Chains A and B, each alone.
Chain A
Amino acid sequence: MKLLRNTAIATLFATGALVMPLQAQELTMAVAAQSAGQLDPHVSTKTEDKTVFGMMFNGLVRFAPGSMSSDAIEPDLAESWEVSEDGLTWTFRLLQGVQFHGGYGEMTSNDVVYSLTRAGDESRSSVSSDYRAFQSVEAIDDYTVRITLSEVIPSLLGVVANYHGGNIVSARAAEELGEDFKTNPIGTGPFAYGELVEGQYLELVAHEDYFRGSPEIDKITVRYISAISARDLAFQTGELHMIAGSREDRWVNSMTASGESVVDVFEPGELRTLHVNTAMAPFDDIRVRQALAHAVNREELIAFAGASVARGNESPVPDGYIGHEPDLEFLSYDPDRARELLAEAGYPDGVTVPVAITERASLFGPMQVLQAQLSQVGINLELDVMEHSAWHAAIRDDASSLVLYGAARFPVADTYLTQFYHSDSIVKTPTAVTNFSHCNVADEQIIAARSEPNGERQQELWSEAQQLIVDEVCSIPVFELLQVWARAPEVNLGYELDGSLSLGPVITEKTTLSE
């Protein structure tokens, strides 16, 4: 191993010394996926796509690079904004002279109106529910946009930020290209779409006319390498500057110890939640669900991933989100009580449940730990291991009574509660999102909190909702897993990386490659 590392350094130095000064600055990175999804920022929900969208698009406002706290929201395409007293009318003044990629001209209010309308249109967007309170989006003049809401929403700036539906696309490009837009996405970001070779790599090229200045890096190659060992090896031999790491203590420690790479562990924590289908036997009986909750040993699951990348969470809303309630009454680890409850529910000899699970290690690993824990009390899981996309389809088809799911959303309680626990979001209904548990006990509180003007009262409602969900055992929140990336020391991101809603280190115009 040492020999390998030394060779890697030698290679790095050799290529660095000989090639770098002569050639254009090219940055290579590898993400943990087999291929790109649909490269349309309003459609794709894939982690790896979000990272590249962060480099290709802008919103009206943005989370300062390397941060994902709402306090860090700053102007992006809008230079300033005003909000009416009642919080229902928002007016944004746009920057002038912002150019789209590929000669699609200047970005004007027309593009903003088009983008936000598109993001709120169910047929063209996967996040339309975030925009349901949008009554109208109008262009006042070429550089002024007015958004009128039907009711106050928890964070308007959040949904017009550089994240998911808030990404501004070129109206002309989207209309002209139609279906082809996703293979030729046009935004205003520091990097433009270059080429996609399905299953191999995505090439991004510098957008010379970027409004914050021409990027230092000329080209980014994003490689799709799903196996961590393959990414690791390519990184160690110097073929890649940055890789999505393994979210494990061991990996972080050995990478840090090597001294030849920088490991970034950053927010958001993706909450791993075991959603329990309350409409399907045997979990339609609350005693069985309670038994399940008593059988889960969080300590062990956190130890499995490691303290440097994982932290416990008992709340259905991830830590750090506005509205997260840290002090809930929950069912703690108590295998004896679990066995009792199971017997009371009519399963003294245990119960066997078929469960679908993805083959991806980040969920499959913890699921196997859960399987062993649950078997201790007599809940036996028959795992059906599926290819990742097939699994996504199966769980949305209500095919599994337990769904271990990991997600990071816009950091406001409303998003998480609505998507996972509001009855409108129940899977296999017309308005389905990701409510796998058929939970419907906190609808009232979730709706009321959404437009509650009093901040304290809003928090109360959110806390109430979280307690109700925990009491009903719609889900068992288990632990949060942080984002882990490694980069070669010569990559200077140009900002401090504490968090990234794009779920990866976004390369900006300031990012450099030193020798």
Chain B
Amino acid sequence: MTLADTNTPQRTRTASLLRLARKNKLSAFGLLMFTLIVLASIFAPFISPHDPLDQNILDRLQDRSAEYILGTDTFGRDTFTRILYGLRVSLMIGLTSTFLAMVLGCSLGIIAGYRGGWVDSLIMRVMDMLLAFPTLITGLFIVAVLGANFVNIVLAITVTILPKFARVARAPTIALKEREFVEAARALGYSDIRIMAVHIAPNILGEVVVLASLWAAYAIRIEAYLSFIGLGVAPPTPTLGTMIRDGFNHILDAPFVSIYPGFAVLLVVLSLNLVGDGLRDAIDPKLRD
């Protein structure tokens, strides 16, 4: 009975998730939008006839046309194609860094909460230190020092959101470790690692996933910020932030070059937020309405 407890909340949550789609139309719409965006970026080569790096100088800075659905940029590259490929990079950076931050942050949070004492103090003070810096500053610092490339940008974003996950994971761990099923596990002689991984982690997973979906949107925005101020992936690789930056020189005479990728950032962030909100409602009925 005590061991079965671990599964009960999960089952109800799965049911809630299914209910979500029916009840919360807005979130379902968000989910649909996000799925479409991901699919479009994956199947970019089949959707667009253009190459994202192919320059047609004579066709530069053109507005929408049959050939260039969303016009062309400073170098005559097709904006629509670049958005699709840019989404790939932006999503990859955003999702990878959020996932890494989630795994590392939660592990640290659970260890801190479960162990308590000096381990807790040490981990959480370090996390507090990281949180003390404004997010963008930490990211900027890391990228500026290590150099701007894919791995470093992922690292920078991971470090900036990792402490948030640690905090979120720690609080419920402290409550859960006093529960009977944990004590039972301990009485059976299971190791701390097993208890943390098998008995505690699944119980906080729901909340963490909700936050992950919200913070993934945030991570994509940080990537766009960093790219916009010139600390993004090196050209000619398109990312949404660099595309906005590239178009900025022509913001008065050809605003569309920046506006379309900006709109793409908006759609991704909006869809992730809608999904996140819906998930939170499903998991925490108290917050509904």
B55 located at the interface, meaning its Cβ lies under 8 Å from any Cβ of chain A in the complex: yes
**How many chain B residues touch A (Cβ–Cβ < 8 Å)?**
22
Tell me, in angstroms, the Cα distance from A227 to B248 when the chains sit together.
9
How distant is B232 from chain A, measured CB to nearest CB, in Å? 9
How distant is B57 from chain A, measured CB to nearest CB, in Å? 5
Tell me, in angstroms, the Cα distance from A246 to B54 when the chains sit together.
24
Q: B242 — nearest CB in chain A belongs to which residue?
A: A385
**Quick check: which of B92-100, B249-257, B281-289 contacts chain A, the rest being far away?**
B249-257
Interface contact A229-B75, CB-CB below 8 Å: no
Interface contact A371-B60, CB-CB below 8 Å: no
Interface contact A233-B252, CB-CB below 8 Å: yes
Given the known interface contacts A371-B236, A384-B234, the answer about A250 and B248 at a Cβ–Cβ threshold of 8 Å is no
Given the known interface contacts A368-B75, A371-B236, the answer about A229 and B248 at a Cβ–Cβ threshold of 8 Å is yes
**Chain B residues within 8 Å of A229, by CB:** 248-252
Given the known interface contacts A303-B58, A365-B74, A385-B234, the answer about A372 and B249 at a Cβ–Cβ threshold of 8 Å is no
Interface contact B235-A250, CB-CB below 8 Å: no
Interface contact A250-B252, CB-CB below 8 Å: no
Interface contact B235-A368, CB-CB below 8 Å: yes
Tell me, in angstroms, the Cα distance from A409 to B147 when the chains sit together.
34
Interface contact B61-A250, CB-CB below 8 Å: yes
B49 located at the interface, meaning its Cβ lies under 8 Å from any Cβ of chain A in the complex: no
How distant is A387 from chain B, measured CB to nearest CB, in Å? 8
Q: A246 — nearest CB in chain B belongs to which residue?
A: B249
Tell me, in angstroms, the Cα distance from A301 to B58 when the chains sit together.
10
Tell me, in angstroms, the Cα distance from A386 to B272 when the chains sit together.
33
A18 located at the interface, meaning its Cβ lies under 8 Å from any Cβ of chain B in the complex: no
**Chain A residues within 8 Å of B234, by CB:** 382-385
A361 located at the interface, meaning its Cβ lies under 8 Å from any Cβ of chain B in the complex: yes
Tell me, in angstroms, the Cα distance from A309 to B10 when the chains sit together.
67
A211 located at the interface, meaning its Cβ lies under 8 Å from any Cβ of chain B in the complex: no
Within 8 A of B (CB), among A351-385: 359, 361, 365, 368-369, 371-372, 375, 382-385
A149 located at the interface, meaning its Cβ lies under 8 Å from any Cβ of chain B in the complex: no
A84 located at the interface, meaning its Cβ lies under 8 Å from any Cβ of chain B in the complex: no
B45 located at the interface, meaning its Cβ lies under 8 Å from any Cβ of chain A in the complex: no
Contact with A along B214-249 (1 / 0, CB 8 A): 000000000000000010001110000000000011
Tell me, in angstroms, the Cα distance from A132 to B30 when the chains sit together.
72
CB contact between B249 and one of A228, A300, A368 (< 8 Å): that residue: A228
Given the known interface contacts A232-B252, A359-B230, A361-B249, the answer about A372 and B55 at a Cβ–Cβ threshold of 8 Å is yes
**Chain A residues within 8 Å of B75, by CB:** 304, 368-369, 372
B53 located at the interface, meaning its Cβ lies under 8 Å from any Cβ of chain A in the complex: yes
Given the known interface contacts A372-B75, A385-B235, the answer about A304 and B60 at a Cβ–Cβ threshold of 8 Å is yes
Tell me, in angstroms, the Cα distance from A385 to B230 when the chains sit together.
8
Interface contact B249-A369, CB-CB below 8 Å: no
Tell me, in angstroms, the Cα distance from A250 to B59 when the chains sit together.
12
Given A232-B252, A368-B236, A371-B235, 16 other A-B residues pairs in contact with their CB atoms under 8 A = A228-B249, A229-B251, A229-B252, A246-B249, A250-B250, A251-B253, A254-B253, A303-B57, A304-B60, A359-B230, A368-B75, A371-B236, A372-B54, A372-B75, A382-B234, A385-B234
A-B pairs, top 8 by smallest CB distance, nearest first, are: A372-B55, A229-B251, A303-B57, A300-B57, A304-B57, A383-B234, A232-B252, A359-B230
A residues contacting B by CB (< 8 A) are 1, 227-229, 232-233, 246, 250-251, 254, 300-301, 303-304, 359, 361, 365, 368-369, 371-372, 375, 382-385
Q: List 22 A-B contacts (CB under 8 A).
A: A1-B252, A227-B248, A229-B248, A229-B250, A229-B251, A246-B249, A304-B60, A359-B230, A365-B74, A368-B235, A368-B236, A369-B55, A369-B57, A369-B75, A371-B235, A372-B54, A372-B236, A375-B53, A383-B234, A384-B147, A384-B234, A385-B230
